[in-house]
Chains A and B, each alone.
Chain A
Amino acid sequence: MRHVDLVIIGGGCAGMAAAIEAKHQGIDDILILEKNSQLGGILDQCIHNGFGLTEFKEELTGPEYASRFAKQVKELNIPYLLNTYVMEITKEKHVLFASKDEGVEEIEATAIVMATGCYERNAGAIQLAGSRCAGVITAGAAQRYLNIHGYMCGKNIVILGSGDIGLIMARRLTLEGANVICVCELMPYSNGLNRNIAQCLNDYNIPLYLSTTIKEVIGKKRLEKVILTKVDEKLRPIEGSEIELECDTLILSVGLIPYISLLENIDCPISSTKGAIVNEDMETGIPGIFSCGNCLHVHDVVDFVTDEGRSAGLGASKYIKGLSSKGDYIKVIPSDNVSYVVPQNIHKDTSDDVTLKFRVRTPIKNAVIEIVSGDKVIYRMNKIACIPSEMNLIKISNSKLANLENDICVKVNGR
């Protein structure tokens, strides 16, 4: 069986950043396996701009952003296989893949970085009630039809869910001449970034209905109408609040889920993010298997994905060189109003600073972010507001982590 030091599954920006970082760390025997016909991942269909403000200090489109990394991968002569689908990985880090050009092959890796991205929650997952007609489509699928293939999925459109892709598609479809009737959001607050609400909805007079969901879709062959309903504070439909809206298309932007079937199949420990539980090196519960990007937890800014890819590339390089920390873990626990924190475990003897990434459950104004270990407050910061759609990043220096006796809790409360 062919051996490769580092196999990276997924050639989006997380996978490419991991590969580039590993190469810089002196790992030469790398193989990126990418299922599509080019490197870049989901960015290829994100033709709007706004990518790369932190990384490149300029606003790029998704394909431009991806191409900068693809160029580096090529310049660094990092090997990659396109049209290649990984069928199975094992705890022993065997990788079985089917490749358009090479057929089915199994290789053995010293370390694996998972960078497989995420998928969209769809009508099946949210158990959307009503008919099974055409005209119900996820925002990402609608985006691919429009931006890659040049086809409009609808003309009179209702959007369910205020996730960022849905908001961006509201603007994109409006610019292409569609009538976006409204965006409905189950929660009493938006799940998209504020700048997207302003630039994609407000600028085009598209109403956003909060605490509203779709009760039923109706249509014989193609969607004809949807029934909207208000929901109460427990998200239950309020009887009598139904409104019927005629439309030909319902776009779903109801969340993204890490795509980690490969890890689930080998019983890798999974967190509440639906991604793997990792340590500060982005190493999962299975030694030598690392995870980063949207398959670890869903990000809202691509630069953070890139950064996380680098951390995984660095972590995998240390593992390959036998330099990983081996000490005890401190657990990182999401506490008051925090839905999750990545990483979930940190080595007490970590040699690097650690960035904690977390989200709040509900919007909190005049927020105080605290990181505590027992009675000891390691970090405290005031923030005007924390919202669930925005990931928070806090860098903790490793000196503060040494000699801690208790697990770390991350809390966010109002002042």
Chain B
Amino acid sequence: MFDIVIIGAGITGTLIARELSKYHLKVGVIEKCNDVGNATTNANSAIIHSGYDPVPGTLKAKFNVLGNPMYDQLTKELNVPFYRLGSLTVAIYDEQIPLLKDLAKRSKVNGVPVQLLNSEEVLALEPNINPNVKMALFAPTCGIIDPFNLTVRAMENAIDNGVTLLLSEEVINISKENDIHIIRTKKNRYEAKIVINCAGNYADNIASMIEPIDWSITPRKGEYYVLDHYKAGLVNRTIFPLPSEKGKGILVSVTTSGNYIVGPSSEPVPDKDDVSTDALTLKNVKEQALDLVPSVPFNQVIRTFSGLRPSCSRHDFIIEYAKTDKTFINVAGIESPGIASSPAIAKYVVNELVKPLMELKEKEDFNPNVRKVERLYYAEQNKDYSFINSHENYSEVICSCEKVTLGEIMDQLNRSCPPHSVKGVKRRTRAGFGKCQGGFCQSKIVLLLAKHYGVSPLDIPLDDEGSNILLEKVKD
């Protein structure tokens, strides 16, 4: 029996698991996909928002402002790329200036350092912004991150500190017997004293297994373009338009890997798994982005994708006990600024919601650090090849576009939260992320995964279970 079961291994679930792994507890994380961070966490703008934008007094404002400064230490411990480049929220038209000034006031209430810049100052920082720019709000604490590896490393660290991860386990029912939660998945039955619901777009479905609820999650889809990392300097930080009730608008940002990301759109969708893209929406994204940065080279697009924000009918995060059962904690509606907020949410959930229910005894041997991730790409940046030249497989390149070596892939396979799919390898190592989109390296990765797990290449999925790439062995 588990002391605590977390349902959902996205960024909030895994960071809560890591926070709990500091204590003498038996913790399990149940995830319906075959990998952590497989939904909302891996398809978003990858921004650590500064916190000027959420309405003061909301949980979004509170946790965003608390979470943002935690990222320096967190990413150091978890060895995840994170750069505090700052953001510019840009007013291009005269009528936007009062709105921008309102935002500046809101920043003050939220306690976020910002600075209003005039057009010359903006263009000096970002020469490719629309030259008609009138004014911008500079938020120096805004950062960019690799959210997927943050989640993988958080889970890895939690596992290294004793947490159990249960993948490909879809929860279908939760009941209570003798004060113990009985969690039934499609394959198994688990018991837990406390359940923490971090099920993202399905959080309302999971919460409804306990009691009737008066809130719901309706995903809002965001569609994006990813541009190749062909040249530095298109933008040097994250550029936002003015926010609206639909969200923060179409941003243009550099990413931790030197690519550019453009998006997202914002449309509610009924299907909680619908991550399709459509030409019309993307055309609209493109037009809006060109208004912000007219020289975005859309001929350098290497991929389009969409992600689903778990938007809650309450228009704020839900981080609270179930109404009728304190041993069931809902952490729901964690949409933007969810990643920025999640480390603070994790601390709050453990210290303010779990602690009153259960004695938390600290482990003396908790290790906050993960093993360092070595890459040929990093070695090239630092012009230091001593690790590469002294370790097997680190000079054998598998993915040419992104300079990913066999050693890097094997390292991921041998960590405690390893990939089981081609996309699992891709998101961890960047193999297949480049301009050929895996055209050259995918077959090598399928064969590596098959060999590592001792299965046929026919059994290797592209992404979640059932998404197999190969259908048949050719008769010899």
Partners in one complex: yes
Interface string of A116-142 (1 = CB under 8 A from B): 000110111101011111110110110
Chain B: which residue is nearest A98 at the CB level?
B395
Beta-carbon contact of A124 and B385 below 8 Å: no
Task: Let me know if A154 is at the binding interface, CB within 8 A.
Answer: yes
- How many whole Å from A132's CB to the nearest CB in chain B? 6
Task: Let me know if A171 is at the binding interface, CB within 8 A.
Answer: no
Bound form: Cα–Cα A141–B437 in Å: 11
Cβ–Cβ < 8 Å partners of A220 in chain B: 273, 466
Given the interface contacts A99-B395, A149-B447, does A122 sit within 8 Å of B473 by beta carbon? Answer: no
Chain B: which residue is nearest A118 at the CB level?
B436
Task: Let me know if B276 is at the binding interface, CB within 8 A.
Answer: yes
Beta-carbon contact of A104 and B436 below 8 Å: no
Q: Which of A83-91, A335-343, A363-371 participates in binding chain B?
A: A83-91
Task: Let me know if B396 is at the binding interface, CB within 8 A.
Answer: yes
Given the interface contacts A152-B470, A221-B467, A248-B471, does A122 sit within 8 Å of B437 by beta carbon? Answer: yes
Chain A: which residue is nearest B298 at the CB level?
A127
Task: Let me know if B305 is at the binding interface, CB within 8 A.
Answer: yes
Cβ–Cβ < 8 Å partners of B376 in chain A: 87, 98, 104
Beta-carbon contact of B279 and A129 below 8 Å: yes
| Most interface-central of A35, A141, A216 (chain B CB within 10 A) | A141
Cβ–Cβ < 8 Å partners of B226 in chain A: 124
Interface string of B271-295 (1 = CB under 8 A from A): 0011111110010000000000000
Beta-carbon contact of B276 and A130 below 8 Å: yes
Task: Let me know if A92 is at the binding interface, CB within 8 A.
Answer: no
Task: Let me know if B403 is at the binding interface, CB within 8 A.
Answer: yes
| Most interface-central of B462, B465, B468 (chain A CB within 10 A) | B462
Task: Let me know if B53 is at the binding interface, CB within 8 A.
Answer: no
Chain B residues 378 to 433 lying within 8 A of chain A, measured CB to CB, are: 379-380, 385, 388-389, 395-397, 400-401, 403, 405
- How many whole Å from A45's CB to the nearest CB in chain B? 10
Task: Let me know if B124 is at the binding interface, CB within 8 A.
Answer: no
Task: Let me know if A103 is at the binding interface, CB within 8 A.
Answer: yes
Task: Let me know if B461 is at the binding interface, CB within 8 A.
Answer: yes
Beta-carbon contact of A127 and B471 below 8 Å: no
Beta-carbon contact of B395 and A134 below 8 Å: no
Bound form: Cα–Cα A328–B89 in Å: 51
Task: Let me know if B313 is at the binding interface, CB within 8 A.
Answer: no
Beta-carbon contact of A141 and B466 below 8 Å: no
Given the interface contacts A98-B405, A124-B301, does A138 sit within 8 Å of B469 by beta carbon? Answer: no
Beta-carbon contact of A104 and B395 below 8 Å: yes
Task: Let me know if A146 is at the binding interface, CB within 8 A.
Answer: yes
Task: Let me know if B442 is at the binding interface, CB within 8 A.
Answer: yes
Task: Let me know if A222 is at the binding interface, CB within 8 A.
Answer: yes
Beta-carbon contact of B439 and A119 below 8 Å: yes
Task: Let me know if A26 is at the binding interface, CB within 8 A.
Answer: no
- How many whole Å from B42's CB to the nearest CB in chain A? 11
Chain A: which residue is nearest B305 at the CB level?
A132
Given the interface contacts A132-B463, A144-B443, A221-B464, does A151 sit within 8 Å of B405 by beta carbon? Answer: no
Beta-carbon contact of A141 and B276 below 8 Å: no
Bound form: Cα–Cα A131–B274 in Å: 8
Given the interface contacts A102-B395, A125-B301, A132-B463, does A153 sit within 8 Å of B469 by beta carbon? Answer: yes
Chain B: which residue is nearest A219 at the CB level?
B467
| Most interface-central of B230, B397, B401 (chain A CB within 10 A) | B397
Bound form: Cα–Cα A249–B277 in Å: 18
Cβ–Cβ < 8 Å partners of B442 in chain A: 141
| Most interface-central of A83, A87, A146 (chain B CB within 10 A) | A87
Task: Let me know if B66 is at the binding interface, CB within 8 A.
Answer: no
Bound form: Cα–Cα A215–B276 in Å: 12
Beta-carbon contact of B458 and A151 below 8 Å: yes
Beta-carbon contact of A261 and B278 below 8 Å: no
Given the interface contacts A122-B437, A176-B474, A222-B467, does A132 sit within 8 Å of B275 by beta carbon? Answer: yes
| Most interface-central of B273, B396, B457, B465 (chain A CB within 10 A) | B396
Beta-carbon contact of B385 and A104 below 8 Å: yes
Chain A: which residue is nearest B423 at the CB level?
A132
Bound form: Cα–Cα A221–B397 in Å: 29
Cβ–Cβ < 8 Å partners of A133 in chain B: 462, 467
Cβ–Cβ < 8 Å partners of B304 in chain A: 124, 127
Cβ–Cβ < 8 Å partners of B439 in chain A: 119-120, 122, 138, 140-141
Given the interface contacts A129-B278, A134-B463, does A85 sit within 8 Å of B397 by beta carbon? Answer: yes
Task: Let me know if B95 is at the binding interface, CB within 8 A.
Answer: no
Cβ–Cβ < 8 Å partners of A123 in chain B: 437
Instruction: Pick the residue among A88, A98, A125 that contacts B397 (CB under 8 A).
Output: A98
Task: Let me know if B101 is at the binding interface, CB within 8 A.
Answer: no
Cβ–Cβ < 8 Å partners of A99 in chain B: 395
Beta-carbon contact of A151 and B395 below 8 Å: no
Task: Let me know if A145 is at the binding interface, CB within 8 A.
Answer: yes
- How many whole Å from B402's CB to the nearest CB in chain A? 10
Beta-carbon contact of B443 and A149 below 8 Å: yes
Cβ–Cβ < 8 Å partners of A35 in chain B: 397, 400
Chain A: which residue is nearest B271 at the CB level?
A220
Task: Let me know if B177 is at the binding interface, CB within 8 A.
Answer: no
Task: Let me know if B472 is at the binding interface, CB within 8 A.
Answer: yes
Task: Let me know if B453 is at the binding interface, CB within 8 A.
Answer: no
Given the interface contacts A103-B389, A130-B276, A154-B471, does A87 sit within 8 Å of B380 by beta carbon? Answer: yes
Bound form: Cα–Cα A135–B470 in Å: 8
Given the interface contacts A35-B400, A131-B276, A149-B447, does A222 sit within 8 Å of B466 by beta carbon? Answer: yes
Bound form: Cα–Cα A104–B438 in Å: 24
Chain B: which residue is nearest A136 at the CB level?
B462
Beta-carbon contact of A261 and B437 below 8 Å: no
Bound form: Cα–Cα A87–B303 in Å: 23
Bound form: Cα–Cα A46–B465 in Å: 32
Chain B: which residue is nearest A218 at the CB level?
B276
Cβ–Cβ < 8 Å partners of A87 in chain B: 376, 380, 403
Beta-carbon contact of B400 and A134 below 8 Å: no
| Most interface-central of B447, B464, B474 (chain A CB within 10 A) | B474
Task: Let me know if B322 is at the binding interface, CB within 8 A.
Answer: no
Task: Let me know if A100 is at the binding interface, CB within 8 A.
Answer: yes
Given the interface contacts A129-B276, A141-B442, does A152 sit within 8 Å of B471 by beta carbon? Answer: yes
Bound form: Cα–Cα A132–B396 in Å: 29
- How many whole Å from B135's CB to the nearest CB in chain A? 34
Interface string of A268-287 (1 = CB under 8 A from B): 00000000000000000000
Cβ–Cβ < 8 Å partners of A176 in chain B: 474
Cβ–Cβ < 8 Å partners of B396 in chain A: 83, 98, 100
Task: Let me know if A264 is at the binding interface, CB within 8 A.
Answer: yes
Task: Let me know if A150 is at the binding interface, CB within 8 A.
Answer: yes
Beta-carbon contact of B395 and A129 below 8 Å: no
Known: A138-B439, A151-B471. 17 other contacts (CB 8 A): A83-B396, A85-B403, A102-B395, A124-B304, A125-B437, A129-B276, A131-B274, A131-B275, A133-B462, A151-B473, A152-B474, A155-B472, A222-B467, A259-B400, A259-B436, A261-B401, A264-B230
Ordered by A's residue number, 14 sampled pairs between the chains whose C-beta atoms are within 8 Å are A35-B397, A35-B400, A104-B385, A104-B395, A124-B302, A129-B277, A132-B463, A133-B467, A141-B442, A141-B443, A152-B474, A218-B276, A220-B273, A261-B435
Q: What are the 5 closest A-B residue pairs judged by CB atoms, nearest first? A: A124-B303, A85-B397, A221-B466, A103-B389, A134-B462
